[in-house]
Structure 1
Amino acid sequence: MQQNRSELARFLRNARNRLNPADFGITATGRRRTPGLRREEVATLAGISLTWYTWFEQGRDIRPSAEVLDNLSVVLRLDEKERAFLFHLAQGRPPPLAPDVHETLNPGVRLALDTVGVPAIAINENWSVIGWNNLYAHILRDYGALPADDRNMLRVLLLSERYQEDEDEFKKMVKRLTAKLRWDYSRSKDPTYFDKLISEMRAQCPAFDKYWQGTEITDSFEASHSVKYEGIGRIDFHHTSYAIEGVLGQRMVLFSPENDISRTRLEQVKDELRKEFGHV
C-alpha cells in the first residue's frame, strides 16, 4: 500500500508539472520556482482545499471520492489510461465508466474479430453492439441488418421472439442479464442512456421488470447458449467477455464451442461459408 502512495505522489506531481498555467488563464506573476501549476492552483480548479490536496499529493492515507478523482482528472488533463491509473492507485479499483460513449473499434480489435475463429461481437459501455464477425452474423444474428440505433444487445435479446421460445431458458437469460446490467448501471458515469433503456425494458418485458426489482448483481457475462443450425444440428456455445485494452467500457464477447460435437459442427459451418463466400 505504501508503494501505491509513493507512486501516486510521483504521478500527481508529474501530471501537475507538465501543465501550462496560461492554458488555464493564469498569468505568471513573479518567479515560479517549479514548472506547471502550483498545488494551490490545482486545488482551486478542482474545488478542494489546499491542505487536502497537499496531503493527497504527499501520499498520505487519504480516501478520495470518485467525484474528487474525476475533478482532478479534468484539471490535470489526464487521458483515459491515466485516469484509470489514478483510480487504481487511489482506490484500488477501476474508475466509473467515462461519459464519452465509444462507438468505433480500433483496427486491432477489428482484426481480432475477423481472425479469432469463433463467433464474436464487441459492445460498448451502453451495451450497443459495435462490431461482429461473419461467424456471429451467420450463426447467431446479423447486426448489420439492423439500423445502428437498434443494435443494443439487451433490447435485442429481451424483445426478440426467437429467444422466448423456451420460457425457462429465457427467464434464466433475463435474470443473468439484469444482474449484469445492475452492475454496469452502478458504474456508469452518465446513466441517462441506461435510465431510458431500463424504463423501456420494464414496460415491454415482464420478466425484466420482475428481476430488476430484485437485488442480484454479477460482473460477468459468462454463460452457456445453444443454437440450432439448419442442416447441421445444435451447437452449444460458452460465451464470456473480455475488456478491450485502452478503451474503457468496450468488451469483446467470444462464443466458444462447449464440447467436441459442437466443435465439429462449428467447423462444418466454417466449411459451408468457405464454399459459399470463399472465406469464413
Structure 2
Amino acid sequence: MVFVSIDLTHPQAAGSRTPGRDAGPRRRSELASFLRSRRERLDPEQLGMPTGTRRRTPGLRREEVAQLAGVGVTWYTWLEQGRQINASVQVLDAVARTLRLDQAETEHLYRLADVPAVPAVVNCRRLAPEVQQILDGLRPLPASVVNGRSDILAWNRSFALLFPFMVNAPEDKRNSLWSTFTSPKCCHPYVNRGDDLGRMVANFRARYGRHVGEPAWDEFVKRLCAASPEFAELWAEHGVADGGVHVKVFRHPALGELSVVSTTFDLAAAPETRMMVSTPNDESTREKFEMLRQDTLPKGLTYPCGHSFDPPPEAERASSPGAYTLHKV
C-alpha cells in the first residue's frame, strides 16, 4: 500500500526543553531494554547452550551472549546496563549476529549505541509482492520504485519501454541520478534536462543529510563527482530542496517527445523508498502512452547518433525481483 505522510506536529513552545537534551541517557536506557528483550527471546538449546542448569530468566544469560559474540562479559554487561561506553562497529556486528537481529533491528541497535555512521547491511529486505502488482496495474503509466540514493529497485513494463538504458544497466549503475548525469548528450532522453538538474541534486542533498558519513553514500557521491563534472559543480553548491511534482519532457526514438508530470509517493512499508509515476501532461503524450500499453514499439530502435535503444524482453525484470538493499552501492 502506498501512503503519503503528513507531519501534524506542533512547533515547540517557547521555554520548553531543548530538543535532544538528555538524549544520551535516554538512548542508553532504551538500548539496555532493547538488548534484554532480544536476549530473552532466544532459545539456549538452539544456540548450543547447556539447558540442564536452572535458569532464572528466559533466553540467554549475559555471559552466554558475550561468549557467543566473542566480547568481554564485563563489557557486554555494561552495554546492557546502559552505561556510557564506546562500542565499535565490529563488536556491534558480533552482538547483532548473536542476538539474531534482522536488518531493521540491527540498524536500530547502531543508532541506540550512537554509532555515527550506520554501516552497510548486506542482507536484503523484500519489497512486498503487492508493490510490483501496483506498478504493473498502473500501466500504461511508467512507474518505478527507487530508494533514497535513487537506485532503481523495481519498475513496470512501460518504464522499461521508455528507459531501457536504465533497466539494462549493471546493478551498480541502475540509478536514475547516475543515468541523468552520465548518459551521452547525443541521445540523452531528457529534453529539459538543464532545467531539472539543480533540483535533482538539491533533492538528493536533502536525503544525503540523513546518511552523512555512511561509506556507501559517500562512495556513491565520490564516484558520481568523478564521472560527471556537472554533478560535482552542482554538489559543491550545497543546494537543498524537497521533492514535489514536476513536468519533464522526454525524447523517445519511436514516440518522439513526451511531456509528463512526475509525481512521487513514499512507501511506508519500505523505509526511504519512493514510487515515481509519470502521467501525461498533454493529449499527444496520452495517446502515445497507449502504445506502451499495447507494447507495439518496433524492435532495433536507434538514436540518430547510432546508439541503440533496446527494451529488455517483457519477462525480464530486476536481477533480484522484489529485493532491495538500503545501503548498497
Q: Percent identity?
A: 24
Contact kept in structure 1, 2:151 and 2:175, CA below 8 Å? yes
- Runs of at least 5 residues in structure 1 that lack an aligned partner in the other structure: 57-61
Match of 2:58 among 19, 25, 35: 35
Distance 1:91 1:107 in 2: 33
CA contact (8 A) 1:178 1:208 kept: no
| Count of residues in Structure 1 that have an aligned counterpart in Structure 2 | 260
Normalising by structure 2, we get a TM-score of 0.58
Contact 2:144 2:156 (8 Å CA) reproduced: yes
Aligned to 2:41: 18
In the alignment, what sits opposite 2:208? 182
- 2:190, 2:250 within 8 Å by CA — same for their partners in 1? no
Aligned ranges for residues 54-203 of structure 1 at < 5 Å?
A: 54-55=81-82, 67=89, 72-83=95-106, 90=112, 96=118, 98-100=120-122, 102=124, 105-117=127-139, 118-124=141-147, 127-141=150-164, 143-160=166-183, 161=185, 162=188, 166=192, 168-169=194-195, 171-173=197-199, 175-176=201-202, 178-180=204-206, 182-183=208-209, 185-186=211-212, 188=214, 190-191=215-216, 194-195=218-219, 197-203=220-226
**CA RMSD in angstroms, aligned pairs only:** 4.5
Contact 1:224–1:238 (CA under 8 A) maintained in structure 2: yes
Match 1:50 to one of 69, 73, 77: 77
Does residue 262 in structure 1 map to residue 292 in structure 2?
no
CA offset digits 1:81-105 (Å, max 9, x no partner): 44456678x599xx94742164975
Residue 202 of structure 1 aligns with an amino acid whose one-letter code is C
| 1:205 corresponds to 2:224 | no
Q: State the AA in 1 paired with 2:81.
A: T
Looking at structure 2, the residues matched to 74 and 221 of structure 1 have their Cα atoms a distance apart, in angstroms, of 37
State TM-score, norm by structure 1: 0.66
Equivalent residues of 1:17, 1:35 under 8 A apart: yes
Taking the aligned partners of 1:91 and 1:148, their CA distance within structure 2 comes to 32
Cα separation, 2, equivalents of 1:221 and 1:97: 26
Distance, in Å, in 1 between the alignment partners of 2:246 and 2:62 is 52
- Larger fraction in helix: 1
Which structure 2 residue ranges, 5 or more long, are not aligned? 1-22, 297-313, 315-329
Larger RCO of the pair (alpha carbons < 8 Å, separation 6+): 2
Query: Contact between 1:240 and 1:255, CA under 8 Å: does it hold in 2?
Result: yes
Check the 8 A contact 2:166/2:175 in 1, yes or no: no
Query: 1:51: how far off?
Result: 3.6
Distance in 2 of aligned mates of 1:153 and 1:167: 13
Contact 2:258/2:285 (<8 A) preserved: no
Q: Which letter maps to 1:255?
A: V
**In 2, distance between residues paired with 1:239 and 1:76?**
41
Contact 1:225 / 1:236 at 8 angstroms: preserved in 2?
yes
Task: State how far apart, in whole Å, the 2-side matches of 1:91 and 1:116 are.
Answer: 42
Work out the CA distance in 1 between the residues paired with 2:61 and 2:267. Answer: 36
